[in-house]
Amino acid sequence: MYTGRIARFDEPGSPFDIQTVTLPEVGAGEILVRVLRANICGSDVHAWHGTFATRGLGGQLPTVLGHEMVGAVEALGDGVRTDSNGAPLTAGVRVVFPYFSSCHTCRNCLAGRRNACLNLSMAMLGRADEPPYFVGGYADYYLLPAGAVVYTVPDSVGDDIAAGANCALSQVMYGLERVDMTLGEHVVVQGAGALGLYAVAVAKARGAAQVIAIDAVPERLELAAAFGADTVIDLNEVGTPRERAKAVRKLTGGHGADVVVEVVGHPSAIDEGLQMLGQFGRYVEIGNINVGQTFAFDPSRFVFSNKTMVGVSLYDPSVLLRALTFLEQHQHRLPLHRLAAACYPLADINDAFAAADGKRDVRASIVPHPTEG
């Protein structure tokens, strides 16, 4: 038996309740992970507010939020000996894993679309009032189901850097791969939060000729430059969508951007971003996850300029291995440590969410076992 704490989430607007629960056993093929660090992602904050309804994805309440995490193997179920890349797994080995698991046998999985699995299971969607209890990252443990993709974290990559790999970093890497962003292209990133900063860094690593970051927070714009943005546009200084689109066209020799990545999370950004695209431009839509929000759209501008919009939800699990390689290779060039500005023990999770909601930190983190973090 394995006993540990969970930060139970009963309903939006209510404080998290720290409870102690017991997992009877680790089943065949399963992996029990001791959570070392779990970031507070924007979707966690939305769920906390009730603007991102996990029940709409098949989730149930009460649950345990938290999905962007790194951990260490606590126990291996029968039949588990290696990670998904063939590296041996033993107790204590640090691992990352997609926060969702695919069945590998449905029509979408067999077609190579594992992030659209018809039998998808995901952190934050399981019940916290029945076994296995450990269904989200804000807990002492997280239980990986049989068949889950899991990768060993390189020794040189610390927990603070590895924690963002399985959500923010892999998501933007997958988005740029989906639109085949190539050498010499001009890229605009709308929003310089954690996803936007990763998008800036990945775009530069893929050979972008120019990366333009847009935000209204001076500290974020400064970070965007540190992550590789060639130019930043301050929403407070360039005040209208038309002016910002004009600025992008001027910066790109009158052509417009080849790729625009939206990680603001508000639909008003979409039409503005589409205006920034040049002929055959590709728009990567990641940030808008709140159901029911809309925006006005003139399709003629989209049609006449041969633009493409790609919605990106989750990512192919194999991207996570490339994300680890990216972190290992670029961690000394990029100020990745600045993405997690404050850490909180599990007992202080309500304070952590208040801080994250106030946007005082780019990425607040829960460290259940501070002496190990």
pLDDT value at 330 more than 50: yes
pLDDT value at 109 more than 50: yes
Q: Which fold has domain 2-163+340-366?
A: Quinone Oxidoreductase; Chain A, domain 1 (3.90.180)
* pLDDT the model gives residue 339: 82
Highest-scoring range by mean pLDDT, 53-67, 69-83, 330-344: 69-83
Cβ-Cβ contacts under 8 Å for 101 (sequence gap 6 or more): 120, 121, 122, 144, 145, 147, 148, 149
Closest listed residue to residue 98, CA positions, set 366, 315, 312, 335: 315
Average pLDDT for 132-157: 97
pLDDT value at 358 more than 70: no
- CATH 3.40.50.720 intervals, the chain: 168-311
* pLDDT the model gives residue 373: 47
Query: b/e per residue, 287-312, with b = 16+ CB within 10 A?
Result: bbeeeeeeeeeeeeebeeeebebeeb
Asked if 349 and 365 touch (Cβ cutoff 8 Å), the reply is no
Asked if 39 and 99 touch (Cβ cutoff 8 Å), the reply is no
* pLDDT the model gives residue 362: 56
Average pLDDT for 143-157: 97
Asked if 29 and 146 touch (Cβ cutoff 8 Å), the reply is yes
- CATH 3.90.180.10 intervals, the chain: 2-163+340-366
More confident residue, 13 or 19: 19
pLDDT value at 312 more than 50: yes
168-311: CATH number: 3.40.50.720
Average pLDDT for 289-309: 86
Average pLDDT for 335-348: 88
- Name the band, by pLDDT with cuts 50, 70 and 90, for residue 212: very high
d(CA 214, CA 190): 5
pTM: 0.92
